[in-house]
Chain A
Amino acid sequence: MSLPESGGLDAKRQRVDALLSAICRELDRVPERPVRIMEVCGTHTMSIFRHGLRHLLPQGIELISGPGCPVCVTSRGQIDTAIALSQLPGVTVATFGDMLRVPGSSGFSLAKARASGADVRIVYSPFDALQLAVKESWRKICFLGIGFETTAPVVAATIEMAARMGLENFFVFSCHKTMPNALRALFAAGGSRVEALLCPGHVSAIIGCSPYRFLPEEHGVACAIAGFEPDDILVGILSLLRQLASGRPKVDNCYPRAVNSQGNPRALASMDRVFRLADSDWRGLGLIPESGLSIRQGFEQFDAGRRFSLQVEEPDSVSPCRCDEIITGRSTPLECPLFSRACTPASPYGPCMVSSEGACAAWYRYGGQRI
């Protein structure tokens, strides 16, 4: 959604056209084809889809949907545990709407658990869950903490409020994940064919620019932090092409109206007081060290994991899923042994299929045809 200063639809359309021309010119200066750009934000994925940007971009640019949809990378074990939580007596699970239909390991989901009698409620904000805990003090309200660094500080602030109030019936099951170390793991694996990264605008509003620096410095990957309007995304893509053409990758902040290079210190501080980094399982990608957030000892009374003695078990230790290769451009969906057999949109295995706009889901629907 735009600010009024941005001038309305016609002005936006003009900017988009001008940016597309610039992109075409810049693409000519980049020798390698296709140019593979990974975008790591579910909201970028949706915006690209919603505005039909792939259709507008010139041939030779490939946009790959990375592991940036927190719902899609929440491990099946964590979903199974959330479902088990909802089935405990006296427990109400409050969750963002996104999580409701995502299946765990047995095809069960929070929606199905609700249909079978569990108390699962959709909330817009963890603050709504807090208010519910105050209002319905006889229930144990467990908020399902999903999301990256945009959402984690929001949840941290809510936990801090609960602490100030001395609430005893409010809990958080933290499934939060963090971006930078996941990116590190993906690129450290080697062989990635991705040359450029469109960085998540609102995560960056919190963490700033420096967490991405290792990408240009250690891997030569161009980075552009971009907003979510179609013109924002195109400015980001233009910057990436310019970086590749000049052979000088860096981290370019193309979203300065929301992102300061040092990020948001108040949000970071709240996150740091409440959470610590922990190893985390990513659906389809396996265990990534220090890529998740766990509630610190000082706020342990709000940790649903501790309060309900939850054990998170992952169904497969070795997974045949090829999402990590698909995301880094080393494989296509067709090359994954699970694609369209054990893994379909109705029963998805990894994030590329869980996300309705993930590489595998998109391939399943359109088979690469241009509509």
Chain B
Amino acid sequence: MCVAVPLRVAEVRQDHAGLAGISGQVAVVEVGSGLQEVRLEIVDRIPEPGDYVIVHAGFAIHTLSEEDARKSLALFQEAVQGAGFDPDTEAV
């Protein structure tokens, strides 16, 4: 139910006057060699340039840093080796 993609943030700014009466923050994200605006009204953390945002229907729903992205790769190695799984712990 959730077509959403991670996109890299180039800039964060106030909504330029495309729509009278709405002011809010937007992230300008890289799509191919172009740029696209993404709304930030419901994102958990306002991103910095260089962060990624997960975008669903024109809105960012989650911000992650490059560091977060790298850390998640480690999860795969752990998962394969069985190192990351501890049946006694609650969910993270």
C-alpha gap A228/B3 in the complex (Å): 9
Are A151 and B56 in contact, CB atoms less than 8 angstroms apart?
yes
CB distance from A275 to the nearest CB of B (A): 13
Q: Which B residues between 37 and 92 are near A, CB-CB below 8 angstroms?
A: 39, 41-44, 52, 54, 56-59, 61-62, 64, 66, 68-73, 75-76, 79-80, 82, 85, 87-92
Indicate whether A157 reaches chain B with its CB closer than 8 angstroms: yes
Are B43 and A266 in contact, CB atoms less than 8 angstroms apart?
yes
Are A248 and B87 in contact, CB atoms less than 8 angstroms apart?
yes
B1 CB contact (under 8 Å) in A6, A41, A243, A256: A41
Are A127 and B58 in contact, CB atoms less than 8 angstroms apart?
yes
Q: How many B residues have CB within 8 A of the partner chain?
A: 45
C-alpha gap A13/B85 in the complex (Å): 22
Indicate whether A128 reaches chain B with its CB closer than 8 angstroms: yes
Q: Could you list which residues of chain A lie within 8 angstroms of chain B, going by C-beta atoms?
A: 1, 3, 5-7, 15, 18-19, 21-22, 41-43, 68-70, 96, 124-128, 130-131, 134, 147-148, 150-151, 153-154, 156-157, 160-161, 164-166, 200-203, 205-206, 209, 213, 228, 231, 235, 238-239, 242-243, 246, 248, 250-254, 256-261, 264-267, 270
Q: Apart from A124-B58, A242-B87, list 19 A-B contacts with CB within 8 A.
A: A5-B66, A41-B2, A43-B3, A96-B57, A150-B2, A154-B58, A161-B22, A202-B4, A202-B54, A202-B56, A209-B91, A228-B2, A238-B80, A239-B79, A250-B90, A256-B75, A258-B54, A264-B44, A266-B42
